Structure 1
Amino acid sequence: MPFTRILVPFDTSELSVKALEKAVEISAIDQSPIFILHVISEIPLPIHYSRIELKNNEVTISPLVNKLHNEIKNEMIVILEDVKNTYAKHNISITTEIKIGDPAEIIVDFTKQNNIDLIVMGSIGHKGISGMFKKLGSVARKVAEEVNCALLIVR
């Protein structure tokens, strides 16, 4: 069964790199486009620093949280561009996207909105800002419970 749209949730962990390599291998068969999605988790900070406010009927987050999100996003833009360049020789369409929120929810929503028919992801990834805290497969488990497409979990 050929896959027409492949999603790789990517957090720079060793297993997400392996998942991307597997996705490229699968994509090479039918030249299926690959979507690399990086999700920046919400940053847990004391309430004083992380408050969300409603100003002029628009939700705004504190300047500190906004600054941290922007710094992480800017670093990931460079990393994802390098990843795209690494696999450019395979002549596969690779699109990257960065979102902020709960990783499992964002992955599930992205899958539905973009008609993804295969997700290739690591069984364990980084968690939080530094990636020092790992939670055994919680994102992979949540995604597996929610999506209606094929899911390949790489170990």
Structure 2
Amino acid sequence: MPFNRILVPYDTSKLSIKALEKAIELSTVDKTQIFVLHVINEIPLPIHFSKIESKNNEVIISPLVNKIHNEIKNEMIVIMKDVKNKYTENNVYITTEIKIGDPAEKIIDFTKQNNTDLIVMGSSGHKGISGMFRKLGSVARKVAEEVDCAVLIVR
């Protein structure tokens, strides 16, 4: 079965690089679209730092949280550009995107919105802060349970 639209959740870990390389290997038809998605996890901060306000029907996030997200996003823009340049081949088109939120939810939403045929993802990514939340279940497991397309989990 040929895959035309492949999503690779990418967090710069060795397994996400391996997943991207596997997605490229699986892209057997011309003009395969590979989406490389990085999700910046929401930052758990004490309530006085993570103040969210509503002004004029607009949600305003605290300047500190906004600054941290912007710094991470700016670093990831450079990394994603390098990924795109390194892995783009004649028969594969790579599109990169960065989102902020819960990784599993953002991956699931992206899959549904982009008619993804296949998700290729690592079995686990960076540990860091997100390692504290491992007890809640892995992102790969949550994604595999919720999407309607094929999921390949790379180890």
- TM-score for both structures, normalised by structure 1: 0.92
Deviation at 1:87, TM superposition (A): 1.1
- Cα gap change, 1:101 to 1:33, in 2 (>3 Å): same
Aligned to 1:12: 12
Tell me if 1:61 matches 2:64.
no
- Cα gap change, 1:152 to 1:79, in 2 (>3 Å): same
1:133-153 Cα offsets, whole Å, 9 max, x none, are 583861000001100000000
CA contact (8 A) 2:119 2:151 kept: yes
Output aligned runs, 1:42-121, within 5 Å: 42-121=42-121
Unmatched 5+ residue regions in structure 2? none
CA contact (8 A) 1:124 1:134 kept: no
Deviation at 1:51, TM superposition (A): 1.0
Deviates more, 1:119-128 or 1:133-142: 133-142
Question: What is the identity percentage for the equivalent residue pairs of Structure 1 and Structure 2?
Answer: 75
Deviation at 1:65, TM superposition (A): 0.2
Runs of 4+ in 1 over 3 A off after TM superposition: 131-134
Aligned pair count? 153
1:60-82 Cα offsets, whole Å, 9 max, x none, are 10000000000000000000000
Aligned to 2:29: 30
SS at match of 2:7: strand
Distance 1:126 1:90 in 2: 31
Deviation at 1:92, TM superposition (A): 1.5
1:16-35 Cα offsets, whole Å, 9 max, x none, are 000000001111x1131100
- Cα gap change, 1:84 to 1:134, in 2 (>3 Å): farther
- TM-score for both structures, normalised by structure 2: 0.92
Aligned to 1:135: 134
Quick one: which amino acid aligns to residue 5 of structure 2? R
Unmatched 5+ residue regions in structure 1? none
Deviates more, 1:120-129 or 1:45-54: 120-129
